[in-house]
Amino acid sequence: MVSAAVGFQCPECVQQGAKQTRSGRTPYGGLRTANPGLTSIVLIAINALVWLFVVASGGYRGEWYDRLALMGRGKCDATGTGGYWSHITSAAACRAQDAAGRPSEWVAGVADGSWWQLGTSIFLHVDVVHIAFNLLALWILGPQLEQLLGRARFLAVYLGSGLAGSAAVYWLTDPTTQTLGASGAVFGLMGALLIIGLKAGGDVTPLLIWIGINVVITFVGANISWQGHAGGFVGGVLLAGVLAYAPRQRRATWQALGVSAVMGVVVLMFVLRTLSLT
């Protein structure tokens, strides 16, 4: 997923939300943190370290890229050609192709058991511009949301949105296409900030403009996963919705139930898609 440009700050959201909160708690029940940018810094560091490791191990042509990128089902790469044998759909047949003198290598996908790709792909980048845009967006949006939601709730929105983006990619992308990047999670933060801004009564016009710009870039740019962006955005909207609009009485319980319900749908999407590909 190649990230579109993002740049937005919502001081009104933070200021208006701060008026509603009691000491030690965020407006939506989370624990206040001394450094609301810390979680974003840690996420940025993880993304950067994974990027350095994958680039050092061969980038797009490396073994770790194939292990970490999201692909619906496996394919048999024709070694050295940049293509793959479309008629071969199993590791055994791929090995037979290789043994017959046609150099081939099996690359496993989620439906073949590489389920971790649904999560690892969220932290995977190869292109410098790709990771730069995504991490810049995370640095701009992340601390604002962590200040409003608290660390645990912010992390739930970020990771949940990323997984929702993976679910959309898994369902809507050609199963032999490899997808990567934090863009789904970033779009989820945009959707979450929109919901929080509306709840706080802030002016979300600048954010809507930036979302519109990102949508345009998503569809006119090359090699950009609209599926991941859309899935992440919807995930962020839903997760922020259950956090922001949960009843005040037993709010933490309602929030936990709401987040669990959203993620339950995401997991169900993973399971149903896997069954359809096997």
pLDDT single digits (tens) 162-178? 999 999 999 999 999 99
Q: Which two tokens stand for residue 203?
A: 């002016």
Q: Where are the alpha helices (DSSP H) in the chain?
A: 11-19, 38-56, 63-68, 91-99, 117-120, 128-149, 151-172, 183-200, 205-220, 226-244, 251-277
Question: How many CB atoms lie under 10 A from the CB of residue 112?
Answer: 21
pLDDT above 60 for 8: no
pTM metric for this prediction: 0.90
Which CATH number characterizes residue 134's domain?
1.20.1540
Q: pLDDT tens-digit profile of 224-241? A: 999 999 999 999 999 999
Q: Is residue 213 a part of any domain in this protein?
A: yes
Query: Residue type for 223, please?
Result: N
CA distance 156 to 165: 14
The residue among 34 and 226 whose pLDDT is bigger is 226
118 within domain boundaries: no
Angstrom distance (rounded) from CA 216 to CA 117: 28
58 part of a folded domain: no
61 lies in some domain: no
Give how many domains the chain has, as a whole number.
1
Q: Which domain holds residue 44?
A: 11-49+125-277
Which entry of 3, 104, 166, 183 is annotated as an active-site residue? 183
pLDDT at 85: 87
In the residue annotation, 57 being an active-site residue is answered as no
Please check whether residue 156 lies inside any domain of the structure.
yes
87 catalytic per annotation: no
Phi and psi (nearest 5°) for 31? -80, 135
Q: Which residues are registered as beta bridge partners of 70?
A: 179
Pairwise CA distance, residues 195 & 74, whole Å: 38
For 114, list phi and psi in degrees, rounded to 5: -85, 60
Query: Residue 116 domain-assigned?
Result: no
- Cα Rg, the chain, nearest whole Å: 20
Mean pLDDT on 81-100: 86
Distance of alpha carbon 100 from alpha carbon 112, whole angstroms? 23
Place of tokens 């999407």: 269
What's the confidence (pLDDT) of residue 11? Answer: 58
Beta 75-78 vs 104-107: how paired, if at all?
antiparallel
The torsion angles phi and psi of 245, rounded to 5 degrees, stand at -105, 10
78 beta partners: 83, 104
Average pLDDT on 68-92 reads 88
Any domain includes 111:
no
Catalytic-role residue among 40, 130, 161, 229: 229
Query: Is 74 contained in some domain?
Result: no
Q: What is the pLDDT of residue 4?
A: 41
Phi, psi for residue 236 in degrees, rounded to 5: -65, -40
Spacing of C-alpha 110 from chain mean position: 16
What is the token pair recorded at 26? 């965020």
Question: What residues pair up with 106 in beta bridges, in sequence order?
Answer: 76
